[in-house]
A and B are shown apart, each in its own frame.
Chain A
């Protein structure tokens, strides 16, 4: 799905992905983790990728047997130093009361997080999570 980089769309994006993943019968905690992570990635695209203009944010979600993969991409400013950006508390927008915890939350709430970015071209965040890990539903 694609939408304009308006903050009102943040809720729409995370609720859509949550509805999509519900097919895999996730636990309440797993849904919460995915919703929060999607919200982080989409918010980043809205505030950091397009700070002074409107742009397009793309969200793709794929379901595997017991896993969801979500890709959030923009064609905005890009990130100069990805390693630094992923560190806890690192933010370039402290003046806007950002806490620099977005990537840390995605990393902790999902199983895998990949960040690709080219300055001037945009950023793509790919994250995945196994569903129903605790229940081991595929073992019987």
Chain B
């Protein structure tokens, strides 16, 4: 996972670049929590552009990070979610509280 910090905006971007399942989500979760806890961001963005597989472990991962970010008063957003991944998220209903933004690019600011 690639992590980008934007100090002035208190923005944290996680670019996940592997399949998300029970096996990989534990490592992703540890890294994400470490960054969120020390940086206490106003906003956390999960970028799924390079994720070509996700099962229900991804739902648990996002709900957990949503709660943690919220506990510091921050927001969480999902970007570049393919239809394949969206169908998994939709099962759980979490998209009612966590927004998705498509065609997101942080190239110019990064």
Contacts and interface: CB of A to CB of B under 8 A. Distances in A.
B40 to A, nearest CB: 21
A132 interface: no
Contacts of A105: 55-56, 88, 91
Contact of B92 (A10, A43, A99): A99
Contacts of A47: 22
A36 interface: yes
Nearest to B29: A97
Interface string A96-132: 1111011011001100000000000000000000000
A36 B61 CA distance: 16
Interface string B23-58: 101000100000000000000000000000111110
A85 B56 CA distance: 15
B21 to A, nearest CB: 5
Given A10-B23, A39-B21, A108-B91, A97 B64 contact: yes
Given A43-B55, A99-B92, A108-B91, A8 B63 contact: no
A8 B19 CA distance: 12
B96 interface: no
B19 A98 contact: no
B22 A46 contact: yes
Contacts of B59: 99, 101
Interface size class of B (residues with CB under 8 A): 20 to 34
B63 A99 contact: yes
A64 B61 CA distance: 36
A40 B19 CA distance: 14
Interface string A1-39: 000000110110010000000000000010010011001
Contacts of B21: 7, 10-11, 39, 43
Interface in B67-110: 84, 87-88, 91-92
A102 to B, nearest CB: 5
Nearest to A103: B56
Contact of A29 (B19, B57, B61, B84): B84
Interface of A: 7-8, 10-11, 14, 29, 32, 35-36, 39-40, 43, 46-47, 88-89, 96-99, 101-102, 104-105, 108-109
